[in-house]
Amino acid sequence: MRYFLDEYEAHVNEKRCPGMTCRKLTAFYIDLEKCARGCDACVGCCPVEAVFTTSNRKKGIDQVLCVKCGECMVACPPDYDAVMKVSPPELAPVIERPKEAVEDSK
């Protein structure tokens, strides 16, 4: 424990994972400054349809549906590198999911 006290305290007290490995303490989001809006690689690869596109082609990730598998991060072309992982999850920016995208995912 003496070697990992900082990590332990981050997990328990701050509810964050410095190693970005604990699914409950991390979240994925799409950096809109880096995202090429014509590319839908992340949308098509999500096994639970958590990644969506808004009417103006912005991409977002529904944090409630996301299982944090990382497929969106893998699918994002290296030229853009737009999918980010953060801890704690509250740091992920929220993009409103369009109602039609919610209905389509049901």
CA distances from 20 to 38, 79, 85, 101, 102 (A): 29, 23, 7, 29, 28
Architecture of domain 5-104: 2-Layer Sandwich (3.30)
**pLDDT of 102 over the 70 cut:** no
Do the beta carbons of residue 60 and residue 30 sit within 8 Å? yes
pLDDT tier, 105 (very low <50, low <70, confident <90, very high otherwise): low
Instruction: Render pLDDT for 43-76 as a digit per residue (tens, 0 to 9).
Output: 999 999 999 999 889 999 999 999 999 999 999 9
Count of CA atoms in the C-beta half-sphere (13 A) of 38: 0
CB-based contacts of 100, cutoff 8 Å, min separation 6: none
Domain segments of the chain as ranges: 5-104
Instruction: Render pLDDT for 86-99 as a digit per residue (tens, 0 to 9).
Output: 999 999 999 999 88
